[in-house]
């Protein structure tokens, strides 16, 4: 039983452990705002978005992601929840992994035809992917709830 507890403890520490740098704070906030807006567009139609039904229809018809409602809910919910977690700096690595996966799917299904965004390309999605990947590697940084959690666990 002790070995199993040690594995869970090590996993917990890795998921929430983060550096003491401030560098991840602006990255978390900017990505959080961007993904919040995009998730809200997909789910609720906020900020000029199509809402869940419109997004589902686009996913099914244009991207051949069927059933569209499933993929739209996954993408919108993942972006929205991931954004909230990034803004809080809570479970940053889990949120970042989620966003890396979402952006990988976006690049390969919708943006692979070109590089530049004005041609419908991947440069914007790839930038978001890279930012999320950096947070996956580095964690939330010093101004995060992850840092507070690991500090209290190590005390």
pLDDT of residue 24: 96
pLDDT, one tens digit per residue, over 58-82 is 999 999 999 999 999 999 999 999 9
What's the pLDDT tens digit per position in 93-137?
Answer: 999 999 999 999 999 999 999 999 999 999 999 999 999 999 999
The SS3 of residue 136 is helix
Break the chain into its structural domains and give their ranges: 2-154
Q: What is the pLDDT of residues 16-32, one digit of tens each?
A: 788 889 999 999 999 99
C-alpha–C-alpha distance, residues 34 and 137, integer Å: 20
Please tell me the predicted confidence (pLDDT) of residue 5.
72
Categorise residue 114: left if φ over 0, alpha if ψ from -120 to 50, beta otherwise.
beta
């Amino acid at each position: 039983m002790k070995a199993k507890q040690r594995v869970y403890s090590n996993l917990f520490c890795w998921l929430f452990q983060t550096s003491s740098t401030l560098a991840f704070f602006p990255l978390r906030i900017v990505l959080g705002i961007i993904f919040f807006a995009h998730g809200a567009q997909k789910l609720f139609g906020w900020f000029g978005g199509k809402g869940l039904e419109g997004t589902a229809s686009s996913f099914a018809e244009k991207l051949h992601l069927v059933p569209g409602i499933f993929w739209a809910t996954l993408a919108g919910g993942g972006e929205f929840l991931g954004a909230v977690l990034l803004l809080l700096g809570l479970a940053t690595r889990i949120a970042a992994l989620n966003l890396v996966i979402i952006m990988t799917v976006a690049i390969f299904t919708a943006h692979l035809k070109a590089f530049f965004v004005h041609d419908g390309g991947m440069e914007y999605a790839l930038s978001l992917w890279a930012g999320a990947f950096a947070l996956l590697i580095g964690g939330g940084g010093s101004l995060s709830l992850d840092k507070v959690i690991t500090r209290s666990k190590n005390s």
